[in-house]
């Protein structure tokens, strides 16, 4: 950036942080229930956010803080792959330290909520003890690398997993701060895990201008929504072998409504790279963003804005400069399929996996549904593996034929539905966390989407559209964590109880929707959508999907038809 430009405050905090140390150690030793503001920015790199229970604001005793502070801790899980021991460790932590719930995220990670500050070190240590980490799960670095979770035993999937792990390792922060703060023995002062350097050869002392996200996908299954990532590696497959990757750059969905200069964007196709050079190209892309991304305005600091400003040709030229040689053009290969992997499927090694729908990714036990208890019994009785999906669900893996009825019986025993019993519209829906913990949320999302599904299910059944597959994604703010902008139906929180309704994206994930109605009250969403579904049934072309129909027809014609239909139904 130009010398005369004023850096945003977070850049100053990073520059003065001593490679992410700040004064976090001092805060951990204090009696305060919260961290100092500069440290809350640095803690994100360590995988944790300071939050408060927004439902409890203003309910404390007079003279005390109106906020109840706690920490959200996110575990980085490349490709969503987990052992039973690792999952059980998180279930234990949510019960013993957190708020007794565990969240499966839209990026194949796990989140613990309501961790008291005094228990944060213990929480992070215990996550590391089962060979997982919270390092770089958040912050201005490469975050959790996504990959298709289906445990298919073939050469293509093995290569995707290899690259996913290689990218995670290659782009991980090298600072020793994480080990010093969370993993050293508190009595001897010695680090239990050796690691960490005193320089950042890829990121430098101020890391990236903003968060950075990577996904690895295969053309026949875009379950990771590769086009929504800063950097994507799309496998090019010939004769069941991955000969390379088409490299996609510049995706990102977050916006700021008050800043018209912000926008959602899908990635652009940049170049082809062989498997052995993929990490080198990733490093070059990261370094271009490091050196040329916007550090004076965090609202426009994502890589998508750099590419929009400078152009793809300029960006590719810079990547080639950092990489050290010219890059080949992309092949014709592109995404052409999408699988949520729910239900039973063979792994290719004589074993099976089961895709289990977890509504909005929230694991909890109550009097009606007992997700955590079911998972504990599954671990004890079947000893399977697990994979988290990008749609907030769980694959139970490495099962025998004899295990299939046992698993289904455990699920039903705990008051939970099988994936085959879930309606199509509910199956393809997801929501971000939103209230009460997310500080960015302006309205509800996770807590209200199930009731919206309750309303839509009978309406779609009446129209004979209950088997139509289309995505419904809701967020409590425009930041887009549940990827609403490229969904068939996107609901983005605009203000308390009201949403912007987007239509015309698609399940395949390669097209953005457009605003159909703004400031739609939650209680009016179903009434707004039902006439559009009527129009879809009446005027669709053969085999046309809902998102493709809305995109083809356009919002003006949709509104005319919907108004006419609404007056007669």
Please give the Cα distance from 425 to 330 (Å, whole number).
35
The tens digit of pLDDT for each residue in 446-468 reads: 999 999 999 999 999 999 999 99
How confident is the model over 361-383, as a mean pLDDT? 98
359, pLDDT greater than 90? yes
pLDDT for the residue 26: 97
- Please state, in angstroms and as integers, the Cα–Cα distance from residue 489 to each residue in 104, 223, 429, 456, 458, following that order: 22, 17, 9, 12, 17
191, pLDDT greater than 50? no
For residue 32, how many other CB atoms are within 10 A of its CB? 10
Please give the Cα distance from 521 to 77 (Å, whole number).
36
Q: Is 388 in contact with 77 (CB distance < 8 Å)? A: yes
Q: Give residue 195's pLDDT band: very low, low, confident or very high (50, 70, 90).
A: very low
CATH of 140-338, picked from 3.30.413.10, 3.40.50.20, 3.90.1170.40, 3.60.21.10, is 3.30.413.10
Please give the Cα distance from 88 to 47 (Å, whole number).
19
Task: Of 46, 6, 4, 15, give the one whose Cα is nearest residue 204.
Answer: 15
pLDDT for the residue 568: 85
Are domains 140-338 and 343-424 of this chain identical in fold?
no
Q: Give residue 2's pLDDT band: very low, low, confident or very high (50, 70, 90).
A: very low
For residue 374, how many other CB atoms are within 10 A of its CB? 21
Residue 238 burial (C-beta neighbours within 10 Å; 0-12, 13-18, 19+): exposed
Of the ranges 83-92, 113-122, 179-188, 367-376, which one carries the lowest mean pLDDT score? 179-188
How confident is the model over 505-534, as a mean pLDDT? 98
Please give the class, per CATH, of domain 343-424. alpha beta
Three-state secondary structure readout of 332-375:
CCCCCCCCCCCEEEECCCCCEEEEECCHHHEECECCCCEHHHHH
pLDDT for the residue 459: 98
Of the ranges 187-201, 231-245, 309-323, 466-480, which one carries the lowest mean pLDDT score? 187-201
pLDDT for the residue 462: 98
Which positions are annotated as active-site residues? Answer: 74, 143, 211, 213, 432, 438, 477, 481
Q: Give residue 62's pLDDT band: very low, low, confident or very high (50, 70, 90).
A: low
pLDDT for the residue 193: 40
Please give the Cα distance from 520 to 497 (Å, whole number).
8
**DSSP character for 61?**
P
**DSSP character for 175?**
B
**Ordered strands of the 268-273 beta sheet:** 146-147, 214-217, 231-238, 241-249, 268-273
pLDDT for the residue 6: 85
**DSSP character for 443?**
S
Domain regions of the chain by residue span: 140-338, 343-424, 426-566
How confident is the model over 359-378, as a mean pLDDT? 98
Which architecture characterizes domain 426-566 according to CATH? 2-Layer Sandwich (3.30)
Please give the Cα distance from 512 to 228 (Å, whole number).
10
Please give the Cα distance from 417 to 503 (Å, whole number).
29
Angle of CA points 434, 438, 444, to nearest 5°: 25
The tens digit of pLDDT for each residue in 67-118 reads: 899 999 999 999 999 999 999 999 999 999 999 999 999 999 999 999 999 9
Q: Is 301 in contact with 295 (CB distance < 8 Å)? A: yes
Mean pLDDT, the chain, rounded, equals 95
pLDDT for the residue 257: 83
């Amino acid at each position: 950036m130009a010398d005369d430009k004023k850096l945003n405050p977070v850049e100053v905090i990073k520059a003065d942080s001593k490679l992410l140390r700040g004064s976090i150690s001092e805060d951990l030793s204090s009696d305060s229930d919260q961290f100092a503001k500069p440290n809350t920015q640095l803690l994100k790199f360590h995988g944790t956010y300071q939050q408060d229970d927004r439902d409890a604001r203003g309910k404390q005793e007079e003279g005390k803080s109106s906020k109840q502070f706690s920490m959200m801790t996110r575990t980085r899980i490349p490709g969503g792959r987990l052992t039973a021991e690792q999952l059980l460790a998180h279930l234990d932590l949510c019960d013993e330290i957190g708020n007794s719930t565990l969240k499966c995220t839209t990026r194949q990670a796990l989140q613990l909520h309501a961790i008291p500050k005094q228990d944060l070190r213990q929480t992070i240590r215990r996550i590391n003890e089962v060979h997982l980490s919270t390092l770089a799960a958040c912050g201005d670095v490469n975050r959790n690398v996504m990959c298709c979770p289906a445990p298919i035993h073939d050469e293509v999937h093995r290569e995707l997993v290899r690259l996913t792990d290689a990218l995670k390792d290659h782009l991980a922060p090298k600072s020793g701060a994480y080990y010093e703060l969370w993993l050293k023995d508190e009595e001897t002062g010695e680090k239990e895990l050796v690691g960490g350097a005193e320089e950042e050869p890829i990121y430098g002392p101020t890391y990236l201008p903003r968060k950075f996200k990577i996904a690895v996908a295969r053309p026949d299954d875009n379950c990771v929504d590769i086009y929504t990532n800063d950097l994507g590696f799309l496998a090019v497959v010939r004769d069941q072998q991955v000969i390379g990757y088409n490299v996609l750059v510049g995706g990102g969905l977050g916006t700021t409504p008050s800043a018209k200069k912000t926008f959602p964007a899908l990635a652009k196709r940049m170049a082809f790279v062989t498997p052995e050079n993929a990490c080198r190209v990733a490093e070059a892309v990261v370094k271009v963003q490091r050196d040329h991304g916007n550090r004076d305005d965090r609202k426009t600091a994502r890589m998508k804005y750099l590419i929009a400003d400078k152009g793809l040709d300029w960006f590719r030229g810079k990547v080639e400069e950092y990489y050290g040689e010219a890059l080949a053009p992309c092949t014709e290969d592109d995404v052409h399929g999408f699988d949520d992997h729910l239900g039973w499927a063979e792994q290719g090694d004589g074993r099976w996996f089961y895709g289990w729908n977890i509504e909005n990714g929230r694991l909890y036990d109550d009097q009606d549904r007992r997700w955590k208890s079911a998972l504990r019994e599954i671990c004890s009785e079947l000893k399977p593996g697990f994979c988290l999906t990008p749609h907030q669900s769980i694959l139970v893996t490495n099962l025998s034929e004899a295990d299939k009825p046992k698993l289904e019986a455990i699920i039903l025993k705990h008051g939970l539905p099988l994936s085959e019993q879930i309606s199509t519209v509910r199956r393809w829906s997801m929501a971000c966390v939103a209230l009460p913990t997310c500080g960015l949320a302006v309205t509800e999302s996770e807590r209200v989407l199930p009731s919206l599904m309750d309303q839509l299910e009978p309406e779609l059944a009446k129209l004979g559209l209950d088997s139509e597959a289309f995505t419904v994604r809701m967020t409590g703010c425009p930041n887009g964590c549940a990827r609403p902008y490229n969904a068939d139906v996107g609901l983005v929180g605009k203000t308390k109880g009201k949403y912007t309704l987007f239509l015309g994206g698609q399940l395949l994930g390669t097209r953005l929707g457009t605003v159909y109605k703004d400031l739609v009250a939650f209680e009016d969403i179903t009434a707004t959508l039902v006439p559009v579904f009527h129009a879809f049934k009446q005027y669709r072309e053969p085999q046309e999907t809902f998102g493709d129909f809305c995109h083809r027809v356009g919002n003006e014609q949709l509104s005319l038809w919907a108004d006419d239909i609404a007056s007669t139904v």
